[in-house]
Amino acid sequence: MSLDLALGIARSGLQATQRALANVSQNITNAETPGYTRKTAAAEARTTGGMPLGVRLGDARREVDQALLNERDARGGEAAGAAVRERLLSGIEAMQGTSGTRENLGDTIAALRISLTSLRSAPGEGGLQRDAVNAARDVASRFQDVSNAVSEARQQAHDGMVREIGQVNAGLREIAQLTIGIQGDRSRGLSTSDLEDQRDLALGKLAQSLPFQALHRADGGLTLLTRHGFDLPLETDNDAISASLADLGPSSFHGTGGDIPPILLGGTDITRQLGGGRLGEYVAMRDATLPRYQAELDLAAANLASRMDQQGLRLFTGRNGQVPDTTLPYGDPANGQIGFAQQLRVNDAVAANPALLRDGTHVVADTPGGASAFTPNPANGPASFATLLDRILDHSLGETVRDGVSWAPIASGGIGPDGSLSSPFIPPRSIGDYAATITGMQGGDRATATAARERAEALKAGMDARFQRESAVDPDAEMSSLIRLQNAYAANARVITTAQQMWDQLQTIGR
């Protein structure tokens, strides 16, 4: 081997080692940088005609399992969506109160029954009459509080959705800018690994807002395809998705005839095509879960008022003194059921004269299949009059409208402001059992959301740990590589020094 060849090989070794040292130094420096992945470069032997020419270091490449990265991002989106659901439902659950403490809806109705039962033992006792009116006020207050909590959560869902769309647009612009940089550097033969790290970090954040599939192209380009098949446009200047703020009421809904503005992508309404992530969960809560909660509360309040009224006691009314017609569909504007739980209050006449709990407020005509006839206790009637209280306890708060005739079932389908929703249970006949059921079901939804969040977070944590093992920087391993490369650098430098000494010796001999 000639000295020139030896020098060339050693020089290429020094150059390759210098690049490898720079690569290791970059790994160590960025070990704590969010989204940074370990970079490696393989040394390649160079030969010609069977003769060695030295080594060269290939381009730095990322140590990334793309399938693992995509799955991790998907679990992150599930966790983010479940966290939204958990947070919105937690406020409602807190307002529902704890079972058994006379705080939740079912308990307050049970407490009203107990007060009326006590009054039944002494119908003329003024103190017991006032206690029963106060128990009725507690029922009305609990309906209002829970219904207001549902309404507030629904408004939060809509406002959160609009904010989330702003974050989605910002994320798409960032990804678009990084993609342009990647394509430009790749066309010039430059390394794009750092830009790809930044893009993967941005994609992970975007996946928390809505799920998508990232299709990578050979030129560094990217296509983002949602689970419903539409592309998310990558533009650096324009907002891809738009939505408007709105004040939501109990009758608000999205769709034909509704007053909730759509989510638009290129002028196309994609509201019902969103699912998963924070954005999809905000939409689902706003358009399905919370309107159903509101409808169930309205049905409970309306049936409670109506069943009392049908027996001769107008104990509960709306803000204008009205009692809904529960024989009409929930969404029929003529029956006044939508939003009734927020209006529920004790009838002013009963509040002013608690003796009406004993005597009754109006005459009831006998109705085949409905309530039997009732005539109120006259002003000079007996103080022990108990006919009305028996009707209330046996029928209004029971399962029958009259002996042997059950109440019509409380609606479980065709509910919600647009009539498209259904309760996930068979409604009990008695209003107290129905109220307890919706309280339990709604609390169960929060527990389910918590379990879903914890499960998704656990899966993501496992994938994070695996990703860290496979793609993150291990400082100890990098330091070991640094020592090995320093030794290799010293060895190549020694070859050059030795070759230089030999060359000097040859020149001396030649003189």
Q: Which residue has the higher pLDDT, 270 or 487?
A: 270
Average pLDDT, the chain: 88
269-290 pLDDT tens trace: 999 998 899 999 999 999 999 9
14-64 pLDDT tens trace: 565 666 566 667 767 777 778 887 777 665 555 555 555 555 555 667 778
How much is the pLDDT for 39? 73
350-403 pLDDT tens trace: 999 999 999 999 999 999 999 999 999 998 999 999 999 999 999 999 999 999
Q: Which two tokens stand for residue 476?
A: 């100890």
Q: Determine the residue type at 415.
A: I
125-180 pLDDT tens trace: 999 999 999 999 999 999 999 999 999 999 999 999 999 999 999 999 999 999 99
**3-state secondary structure string, 71-106?**
HHHHHHHHHHHHHHHHHHHHHHHHHHCCCCCCCCHH
Pairing state of beta strands 316-317 and 345-346?
antiparallel
415-452 pLDDT tens trace: 999 999 999 999 999 999 999 999 999 889 999 999 99
- Cα four-point dihedral sign 392, 397, 403, 407: positive
CA separation for the pair 308, 91 (Å, rounded): 30
Instruction: Assess contact for 89 and 156: CB atoms under 8 A.
Output: no
Q: How far is CA 477 from CA 28, 464, 472, 490, in A?
A: 10, 19, 11, 20
State pTM to two decimals. 0.87
CA separation for the pair 72, 203 (Å, rounded): 11
How much is the pLDDT for 104? 87
pLDDT band at 103 (very low <50, low <70, confident <90, very high): confident
Q: DSSP string covering 268-300, please?
A: EE-GGG--SHHHHHHHHIIIIIHHHHHHHHHHH
Residues 6+ apart with CB under 8 A from 138: 102, 108, 111, 112
Buried b (16+ CB within 10 A) or exposed e, 55-89: bbbeebbbebeeeebbbbbbbbbbbbbbbbbbbbb
How much is the pLDDT for 191? 84
* 125 Rama sector, left if φ>0, alpha if ψ -120 to 50, beta otherwise: beta
215-260 pLDDT tens trace: 999 899 999 998 888 899 999 998 999 999 999 999 999 999 999 9
Q: Which residue has the higher pLDDT, 469 or 85?
A: 85
Q: Determine the residue type at 252.
A: S
How much is the pLDDT for 496? 62
* 404 Rama sector, left if φ>0, alpha if ψ -120 to 50, beta otherwise: left
How much is the pLDDT for 189? 84
pLDDT at position 476 over 70 = no
448-471 pLDDT tens trace: 999 999 999 999 999 989 988 887
CA separation for the pair 211, 226 (Å, rounded): 6
pLDDT mean over 287-313: 97
- Cα four-point dihedral sign 286, 290, 292, 294: negative
Instruction: Assess contact for 489 and 21: CB atoms under 8 A.
Output: yes
* 374 secondary structure, DSSP code: B
How much is the pLDDT for 16? 57
Burial of 201 (0-12, 13-18, 19+ CB in 10 A): middle
Residues 6+ apart with CB under 8 A from 270: 228, 230, 241, 262, 263, 264
pLDDT band at 298 (very low <50, low <70, confident <90, very high): very high
